[in-house]
Structure 1
Amino acid sequence: MERIGIIGSAGAMGRALAEAIPAAGYAVAGGIDQGGDLVALAEVSDVLVDFSSPAALEDNLDIAVEAATPILIGTTGLEDRHHFLIDHAADRIAVLQTGNTSLGVNMLVHLVREAALRLDADWDIEIAEMHHRRKVDAPSGTALMLGEAAAEAREIRLNEASERGRDGVSGPRVRGAIGFASLRGGTVAGDHSVILAGEDERIVLTHIAENRAIFARGAVRGAAWLIGQRAGRYTMAQVLGL
């Protein structure tokens, strides 16, 4: 039976993983949090799942590489330097990094890419997301995943084309821009909608997360898929065969 180790086991996702792993027919190799013995956990795990923090990522990757243990990274809020570290680790071990482990969200990313590829810049793209009141970053990592998919399809750079935080007299919408709106409140697990607005018609692609368990189930599926893969950087789209 494959053994999955949990980094960040005391967090909400860590607790959800502790339930989802045995439910999917795998074994929990163990779990750690800050100050825990990751070296020992990596040695007894067939794969690691990391939902800890960006600050811990470098050490987590170093230990995973040393133990030759594949790792799935679901931590959000990563910066360019973190992606550089992931690329470097992927030269030695299999690494799957994603801003969202939900299978439904990753299918949505695929559909957004397909739509943006086939509909030109006459179709404006707006991305709206809502999360619980405690979420500290905006736009969400998932919203950015959706924006990157649309930008990639249109062969533009998201950081140069995105529009955020419109307020007051912001002027007309720039052709080809990708807009973001972030809403916060209540206990919303995560709602994401991508609106493609053309002349006299709109397409709205939406995913609604009703429970954190969907992220845990997707992470378990991704982690299990990662076992036995060659060294390299992988995505949830590959897990789904997209």
Structure 2
Amino acid sequence: MSTAPLRVAVAGASGRMGRMLIEAVQAADDCVLAGALDIPGSPALGHDATAWLGQTSGVVITADLDQGLSGAEVLIDFTRPEGTLAHLAACRRLGVKLVIGTTGFTEAHKAEIAAAAQHTAVVMAPNMSVGVNVVLRLLDMAARALNQGYDIEVIEAHHRHKVDAPSGTALAMGEVVAAALGRDLKDCAVYGREGHTGARDPSTIGFATVRGGDIVGDHTVLFAGIGERIEISHKASSRVGYAQGSLRAARFLRGHASGLFGMTEVLGL
């Protein structure tokens, strides 16, 4: 395996997550910032990607995909579905690998990503946090053991700017629990309750969504039985965990020419 620094490009370079990723790349001994992308019209275009850190990287933020990806081995993308799909097409054409932390994809979008992954390696996960992915494994174990007599609810909270609900992480948690119970989440999920709903159907998995302030991301799965409750939670106080998990995914891709992977493969779970 190459010992040269991994050449990483970052999409959404002037956003909250983009800046966290750039800072993580700059701090990593085995990675180097090789490109920085942002949307056309962004006031950050033309500026050095690390100027906000008081540093000079020599990497200029650009909306030109060919320019931004020309020196990169892998792109890390936490943007919007439409932007990620445009980046995906460019990565496929240029032979750049891709770490996707974007959420809110439709089934058709996911099929498009899977098709592109036959030509370049992709890691896609609803949450890049190592802790969250450990929680997903714990949920599988809990759901198998608590498969009778427990009502299951997924509660998530995020900042006021998040545009999709429930979060991709919440949906992933619901999917893990449903699969462990032999159910299909599409058939048993309840996404809202209002008015006279009647008694709770014990076969359902409920979702509750909170949006407000600057909440980075809180997720809890509640198993409510008679006389006891089990709660499995993950609370993020910053985006550092997402950035570090993304770098682990980027390093993992160095050993793969093509294929679609999740954090389960990255972390060896």
Alpha-carbon displacement from aligned partner over 1:78-116 (angstroms, at most 9, x marks no partner): 111110111101111111111111111111111112211
What residue number does 1:18 align with?
22
Structure 1 residue runs of 4 or more that deviate by more than 4 Å after TM superposition: none
What residue number does 1:44 align with?
71
Preserved contact between residue 47 and residue 224 of structure 1 (Cα < 8 Å) = no
* Max Rg structure: 2
Match of 2:200 among 169, 173, 189: 173
Preserved contact between residue 35 and residue 69 of structure 2 (Cα < 8 Å) = no
What residue number does 1:186 align with?
213
Preserved contact between residue 158 and residue 210 of structure 2 (Cα < 8 Å) = yes
Alignment coverage as a number of residue pairs: 242
What residue number does 1:32 align with?
37
Alpha-carbon displacement from aligned partner over 1:55-76 (angstroms, at most 9, x marks no partner): 1233211211112221011111
Please tell me the residue identity of whatever aligns with 1:64: C
What residue number does 2:51 align with?
none
Where do 5+ consecutive residues of structure 1 fail to align?
Answer: none
Distance 1:228 1:37 in 2: 27
Distance 2:75 2:206 in 1: 35
Deviates more, 1:33-42 or 1:21-30: 33-42
1:129 counterpart = 2:156: yes
Match of 2:11 among 7, 16, 29: 7
What residue number does 1:108 align with?
135
Deviates more, 1:36-45 or 1:181-190: 36-45
Higher RCO, Cα 8 Å, sep 6+: 1
What are the equivalent positions in structure 2 for 1:61-80 lying under 5 Å apart? 61-80=88-107
TM-score (structure 1 length as normaliser) = 0.95
What are the equivalent positions in structure 2 for 1:146-225 lying under 5 Å apart? 146-225=173-252
Distance 2:66 2:260 in 1: 22
Preserved contact between residue 144 and residue 180 of structure 2 (Cα < 8 Å) = yes
Preserved contact between residue 122 and residue 176 of structure 1 (Cα < 8 Å) = no
Distance 2:93 2:210 in 1: 41
User: Is the partner of 1:127 in helix, strand or coil?
Assistant: strand
Where do 5+ consecutive residues of structure 2 fail to align?
Answer: 41-62
Deviates more, 1:201-210 or 1:119-128: 119-128
Deviation, structure 1 residue 121:
4.2
Deviation, structure 1 residue 217:
1.5
User: Is the partner of 1:44 in helix, strand or coil?
Assistant: coil
Please tell me the residue identity of whatever aligns with 1:82: H
Please tell me the residue identity of whatever aligns with 1:8: G
Deviation, structure 1 residue 50:
1.1
User: Is the partner of 2:70 in helix, strand or coil?
Assistant: helix
Deviation, structure 1 residue 122:
2.5
Alpha-carbon displacement from aligned partner over 1:37-59 (angstroms, at most 9, x marks no partner): 22233331111111122112332
Please tell me the residue identity of whatever aligns with 1:159: K
Match of 1:96 among 123, 148, 152: 123
